[in-house]
């Protein structure tokens, strides 16, 4: 581990990233360009988030990594190992114990506090991209607050599907100013974007960092007659019985039996440890 600088990146690079982070916090939702570095992992594996985490971590931090809510996927494990090796920080799977949490596609169920930082991996930072591919034009649209196009996307959704079908990366307006892609979290998580913790977003390939400071107003875009809804599967968790958590659907056998389980594995585990039981809790233990 001594062959690396703390958290892999050199201090110069970390300072550059921190400046981008601070600028992002000063202008909530604004995409700050930064000089993304080559990381020893491919794009799409969270290189943006990893660089933000590297610039954020201190030796005293406790680090947690989740991928779609789970701590044990290949992606989460490899990023956790990466920082164990390069920064020597303590890692944890417990949301409450972590001071820095890097995430892909979820916000933890447990309410985060002012002492925590949530770092998102972002594949495509530009919410206007799919309708306006020209970067010069989208920049201008942000600068001039011309966001009609975002509603065109939602209009298309309703006209094709009878409802706003966008269920991931649901666009939000931050602090009454910038429209932002919250990364591919389910829209169920959108209301949680107004939180006590600092939220940092890193896009490696696209070289953008943006941020939502604590207690910032974050509004999900919608229509008066099609208001935003934070939906989830209408089910309790089959393992811990939670009614308020985002669920993954798991196919159990060829006969089409399914179960619904918390996507946040730590949340589910801690509830079961506290004695909560879902419909299939006994079978799972067996």
Partner 1 sequence: MTPLLSVQNIRKTYGTRIGCTGVSFDLYPGEVMGIVGESGSGKSTLLNCLAGHLEPDGGRVVFDTRTDGPVDTVTMSEPERRMLGRTDWAFVHQHARDGLRMSVSAGGNIGERLMAVGDRHYGDIRDKAIDWLGRVEIEANRVDDRPTAFSGGMQQRLQIARNLVTGPRLVFMDEPTGGLDVSVQARLLDLLRGLVREMGLSAIIVTHDLAVVRLLADRLMVMKDGHVAESGLTDQVLDDPQHAYTQLLVSSVLQV
In 3D space, the residue among 78, 185, 177, 77 whose CA is nearest the CA of residue 121 turns out to be 185
Q: Is 256 a catalytic residue?
A: no
The edge-to-edge listing of strands for the beta sheet with 218-220 is 178-180, 172-174, 218-220
DSSP 8-state assignment for residue 253: S
Q: Which is nearer to partner 1, 43 or 155 (CB)?
A: 155
Contact 28, 216 (CB under 8 A): yes
Q: Is 237 a catalytic residue?
A: yes
Q: Which of 29, 202, 204, 278 is catalytic?
A: 29
In 3D space, the residue among 154, 53, 172, 42 whose CA is nearest the CA of residue 101 turns out to be 53
Q: Which of 69, 202, 240, 278 is catalytic?
A: 240
Cβ of 161: how many Cβ atoms within 10 Å? Answer: 10
- Shortest approach of partner 1 to residue 145 CB, angstroms? 8
- Rounded to whole angstroms, the Cα distance separating 164 from 178 reads 21
CA distances from 93 to 246, 277, 285 (A): 18, 21, 20
Q: Which is nearer to partner 1, 15 or 140 (CB)?
A: 140
Q: Which is nearer to partner 1, 200 or 221 (CB)?
A: 221
- Rounded to whole angstroms, the Cα distance separating 191 from 145 reads 23
Q: Which of 24, 49, 204, 237 is catalytic?
A: 237
Give start and end residues of each alpha helix (H) in 128-280: 135-143, 148-161, 265-273
- Shortest approach of partner 1 to residue 162 CB, angstroms? 11
Q: Is 262 a catalytic residue?
A: yes
- Rounded to whole angstroms, the Cα distance separating 85 from 6 reads 9
Q: Is 202 a catalytic residue?
A: no
For binding to partner 1 (CB under 8 A), which residues are involved?
A: 131, 144, 146, 148-149, 151-152, 155-156, 158-160, 222-226
- Shortest approach of partner 1 to residue 28 CB, angstroms? 21
- Shortest approach of partner 1 to residue 147 CB, angstroms? 8
Angle of helix 47-56 relative to helix 11-26, nearest 10 degrees, comes to 100
Q: Which is nearer to partner 1, 6 or 155 (CB)?
A: 155
H/E element, 101: strand 100-104
Q: Which of 48, 69, 262, 278 is catalytic?
A: 262
Q: Which is nearer to partner 1, 2 or 160 (CB)?
A: 160
Q: Which of 46, 48, 69, 268 is catalytic?
A: 268
Q: Which is nearer to partner 1, 146 or 284 (CB)?
A: 146
Catalytic residue positions? Answer: 29, 237, 240, 262, 268
């Amino acid at each position: 581990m001594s062959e690396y600088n703390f958290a892999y990146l050199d201090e110069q690079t970390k300072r550059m990233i921190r400046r981008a982070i601070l600028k992002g916090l000063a202008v909530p939702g604004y995409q700050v360009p930064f000089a993304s570095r080559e990381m020893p992992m491919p794009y799409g594996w969270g290189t943006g988030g990893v660089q933000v985490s590297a610039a954020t971590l201190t030796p005293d931090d406790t680090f947690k990594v989740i991928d779609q809510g789970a701590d044990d996927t290949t992606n989460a494990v490899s990023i956790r190992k990466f920082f164990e090796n390069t920064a020597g920080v303590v890692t944890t799977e417990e949301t409450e114990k972590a001071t820095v949490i890097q995430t892909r596609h979820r916000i933890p169920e447990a309410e985060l506090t002012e002492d925590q930082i949530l770092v998102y991996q972002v594949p495509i930072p530009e919410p206007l991209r799919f309708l306006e591919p020209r970067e010069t034009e989208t920049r201008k649209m942000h600068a001039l607050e011309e966001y009609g196009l975002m509603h065109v996307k939602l209009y298309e959704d309703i006209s094709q599907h009878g409802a706003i079908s966008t269920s991931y990366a649901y666009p939000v307006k931050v602090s009454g100013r910038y429209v932002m892609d919250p990364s591919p979290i389910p829209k169920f998580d959108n209301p949680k974007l107004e939180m006590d913790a600092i939220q940092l977003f890193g896009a490696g390939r696209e070289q953008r960092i943006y941020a939502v400071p604590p207690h910032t107003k974050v509004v999900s875009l919608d229509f008066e007659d099609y208001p935003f809804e934070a939906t989830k599967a209408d089910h309790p968790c089959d393992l811990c019985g939670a009614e308020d958590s985002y669920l993954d659907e798991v196919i159990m056998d060829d006969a089409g039996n399914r179960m619904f389980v918390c996507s946040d594995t730590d949340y589910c585990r801690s509830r079961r440890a506290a004695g909560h039981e879902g419909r299939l809790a006994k079978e799972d233990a067996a």
